[in-house]
Structure 1
Amino acid sequence: MAGILAAIKLRDRGIECDVFEKGDGVGGTWRENTYPGLACDVAAHWYTYSFARNPEWDSLMAEGKDIRAYFQRVAHDFGVLERTRFNSEVTELRYREGAWDLACANGYEGRYDFVIAATGVLHHPNIPQFEGIETFKGAVFHSARWDHDVALDGKRIGVIGTGSTAAQLATALVPRAKRFDLFQRTAQWVLPRDNVPYSEEDKARFRKDPEALEALIRELRAKTLEGFATAVIDVDSPELAAIEQICRENLDTVKDPELRRRLTPDYRVACKRLVISSTFYDAIQQPNADLVTSPIRRIEPTGVRTADGALHDLDVLVLATGFLVDRFIRPTRVVGRDGIDLDDVWADGPLAYLSVSVPNFPNFFLLNGPNSPIGNFSLVEVAQHQIEYIMQLIDGIRCGEYSEVSATPEAMHTFEAERCEAARKTVWVTGCDSWYLDKNGVPASWTFSYDRFVEETAAPRMEDFEVR
Structure 2
Amino acid sequence: MQDVASGGLRTIIIGAGMAGLLAAIRLKQRGESDFVIYEKGTSVGGTWRENTYPGIACDTPAHSYSYSFALNPEWSAFYAPGEEIRGYFERMTDRYDLAAHIRFNTEIAACEWRDGQWHVTTKAGDIDQAQVLVAATGVLHHPHIPDIAGLADFERPWFHSARWDHSVPVDGKRIGVIGNGSTGVQIVSALARRAARLVHFQRSPQWIMPAIDKTYTNEEKLDFRTDPAAIENVRNGPETQARRNRFTSAIIDAESTELAEIEDIVARNLEDSVRDPALREKLRPNYRAACKRLVFSSRYYDAVQQPAVYVETGAIERIEPTGVRMKDGTFHELDVLALATGFKVDQFVRPMTVRGVGGLDLEDLWAEGPRAHYAVTVPGFPNLCLLNGPTGPVGNFSLIDIAEKQWGYFDQLLDQVRAGRCQGIAPRIEALERYEVARDEAAGRTVFASGCTSWYLNEKGVPQVWPWSYGHFIECMAAPRLEDFELVGAG
Contact 1:271 1:432 in 2 (8 A): yes
Q: Which moved more, 1:176-185 or 1:71-80?
A: 71-80
Match for residue 342 of structure 2 among 322, 327, 331: 322
Once the 2 structures are TM-superposed, how far is the Cα of residue 251 of structure 1 from its aligned partner?
A: 0.9
2:317 aligned with 1:297: yes
Name the amino acid aligned to 1:24.
T
The secondary structure found in structure 1 opposite 2:410 is helix
Match of 1:120 in 2: 138
Match of 1:227 in 2: 246
Summarize the alignment of residues 16-415 of structure 1 with structure 2, pairs less than 5 Å apart.
16-219=34-237, 221-252=240-271, 253-415=273-435
Query: What does the per-residue CA deviation read over 1:318-357, in whole Å, with 9 as the maximum and x for residues that have no partner?
Result: 0000001111111111011111111111111001001111
The residue matched to 1:18 in structure 2 has which SS? strand
CA distance in 2, matches of 1:221, 1:458: 22
Please report how far the alpha carbon of residue 221 of structure 1 lies from its aligned counterpart in structure 2 after TM superposition: 3.9
> Which residue in the other structure is 2:483 paired with?
463
Q: Distance in 1 between matches of 2:22 and 2:353?
A: 24
> Which residue, 22, 41, 45 being the options, matches 1:5?
22
Residue 438 (structure 1) shift: 1.1
Number of residues of Structure 1 aligned to a counterpart in Structure 2: 468
Q: 8 Å contact 2:444–2:463 — kept in the other structure?
A: no
CA deviations over 1:288-335 (Å, ceiling 9, x no partner): 100111101000011000001011000000000000111111111101
Letter matched to residue 283 of structure 2: L
Task: Quote how far apart the aligned CAs of 1:21 are.
Answer: 0.6
Quote the Cα distance in structure 2 between the aligned partners of 1:331 and 1:239.
Answer: 40
Offset at 1:278?
1.2
In 1, Cα distance between equivalents of 2:217 and 2:166: 31
2:4 is aligned to none
Deviations 1:72-97 (A, max 9, x none): 10111112221110111111001111
Check conservation: 1:224, 1:377, Cα contact below 8 A.
no
SS of 2:478 mapped into structure 1: coil
TM-aligned CA deviation for residue 224 of structure 1: 3.0
Alpha-carbon distance in 1 for matches of 2:337, 2:208: 24
Q: Secondary structure at the match of 1:334?
A: strand
Q: Any runs of at least 4 consecutive aligned residues in structure 1 with deviations exceeding 3 A, and if so which? A: none
Deviation at 1:153, TM superposition (A): 0.6
Query: Offset at 1:118?
Result: 0.7
C-alpha displacement of 1:60? 0.6
What percentage of residue pairs aligned between the two structures are identical?
A: 51
Distance 1:85 1:440 in 2: 39
Q: Distance in 2 between matches of 1:415 and 1:146?
A: 40
After TM superposition, give the deviation of residue 130 of structure 1 in Å.
Answer: 1.2
Does structure 2 retain, via aligned residues, the 8 Å contact 1:326–1:350? Answer: yes
* TM-score of the two chains, using structure 1 as the length reference: 0.99
Please give the alpha-carbon distance, in whole angstroms, between the structure 2 residues aligned to 1:13 and 1:392: 12
Q: CA deviation at 1:423?
A: 1.2
Distance in 2, Cα, partners of 1:221 & 1:45: 11
- Counterpart residue number, 2:11: none
RMSD between aligned alpha carbons? 0.9
Alignment deviations for residues 428-463 of structure 1 (CA, whole Å, 9 cap, x no partner): 111000111111111111001111100000011110
Q: Deviations over 1:102-126 (max 9, x none)?
A: 0111232111111011111011101
Instruction: State the secondary structure of the residue aligned to 1:457.
Output: helix
Give the whole-Å Cα distance in 1 for the aligned partners of 2:369 and 2:445: 21
Normalising by structure 2, report the TM-score: 0.94
Letter in 1 for 2:46: G
- The Cα of 1:62 is off from its aligned counterpart by 0.3
Secondary structure, counterpart of 2:311 in structure 1: strand
Distance 1:91 1:224 in 2: 42
Equivalent residue of 1:348, what SS? Answer: coil
Q: Secondary structure at the match of 2:260?
A: helix
Q: Is the 8 A contact 1:46 1:221 kept in 2?
A: no
Amino acid at match of 2:40: K
1:216: how far off? 2.5
Structure 1: distance between partners of 2:240 and 2:141: 26
Aligned-pair CA distance for 1:401? 2.1
Give the secondary-structure state (helix, strand or coil) at the position aligned to 1:100: strand
Q: Structure 1 residue 402: deviation in Å?
A: 1.9
Conserved? CA contact 1:336–1:342, under 8 Å: yes
Amino acid at match of 2:196: K
Whole-angstrom distance in 1 between the partners of 2:105 and 2:83 = 21
How much does 1:223 deviate?
3.1
Inter-partner Cα distance in structure 2 for 1:315 and 1:108: 44
Which residues of 2 match residues 409-428 of structure 1 at below 5 A?
409-428=429-448
